[in-house]
Amino acid sequence: MTSPEPTPTTTTSSRAAEPSAPGRPSDATNGALFDAIATEHATIYGYGLVSAHSTPDVNGLVSAVMAEHRDRREGAIAILQARSVDPPLPAAGYQLPIEVDNPTDAANLAVRMEEDAAVAWRAVLEQATDEQDRAFAVTALTQCAVAAARWSRVLGISPITVAFPGGSE
């Protein structure tokens, strides 16, 4: 999956003086939400590259899906903040799971990121104890599955749908 760039292992005093990034909450629901927000940060970063390498005919898809991820990230951050839990910060950069040099790479990365996001939201769905959190996660999981199907269609994959988005059944 799209993961943060390894942080340089410097021990300079200036780094040590920086405020520490919020840690993952120990509570299962909030922990899963924290992970999902971190995944959304990475996905939004990755869509910048997808956008840069896509052909104009998928502009509508790129902007619609990116807006969805942004809305979802803000929604999830609001849920955590309402519980006085600090959400994760975006990383300075991310290591992408695949190299992106052309429109096909871009669509492949998009499918991969939607699959990763679906996994993160299914984890929220399984860990949540609150019905509203679960409803939020069902919507997120569904939107990721729809976006993955749309990108798979761009790639000409058949079938473009999977039986268990975000799951390993």
Partner 1 sequence: MLFGAAALALLASNAAACGSPPPPPEVDELAAQLDRARADSRLAADAAAATPPPPTAQALAAVASERAAHAQALSDELVRIVGKDAPTTTATSTTAQPAKAPTTEEVIAALRQSADSAGQLAAKQSGYRAGLLGSIAASCTAAYTVALVPPKAAQ
Q: Which residues contact 71 (CB under 8 A, 6 or more apart)?
A: none
* Length of the chain counted residue by residue: 169
Which residue from 111, 118, 117 is spatially nearest to 166, judged by alpha carbons? 118
d(CA 51, CA 30): 31
Q: Using an 8 Å Cβ cutoff, are 53 and 101 in contact?
A: yes
- Closest to partner 1 by CB, 113 or 137: 137
Q: How many residues bind partner 1 (CB under 8 A)?
A: 37
The binding track of 61-80 with respect to partner 1, each residue x by CB under 8 A or -, is x-------------------
- Closest to partner 1 by CB, 48 or 167: 167
Q: Is 8 in the site for partner 1 (CB under 8 A)?
A: no
- Taking the complex as a whole, the smallest distance from the CB of residue 164 to partner 1 amounts, in Å, to 4
- Closest to partner 1 by CB, 91 or 146: 146
Q: Is 144 in the site for partner 1 (CB under 8 A)?
A: yes
Applying CB under 8 A, which of residues 46, 87, 88, 165 lies at the interface with partner 1?
A: 165
Q: Using an 8 Å Cβ cutoff, are 110 and 22 in contact?
A: no
Residue type, 143: Q
Residue 94: strand pairing partners: 4
Applying CB under 8 A, which of residues 60, 65, 100, 155 lies at the interface with partner 1?
A: 60
Residue 4: strand pairing partners: 94
Residues near partner 1 (CB under 8 A) are: 60-61, 118, 121-123, 125-126, 128-129, 131-132, 134-135, 137-139, 141-142, 144-146, 148-150, 153, 158-167, 169
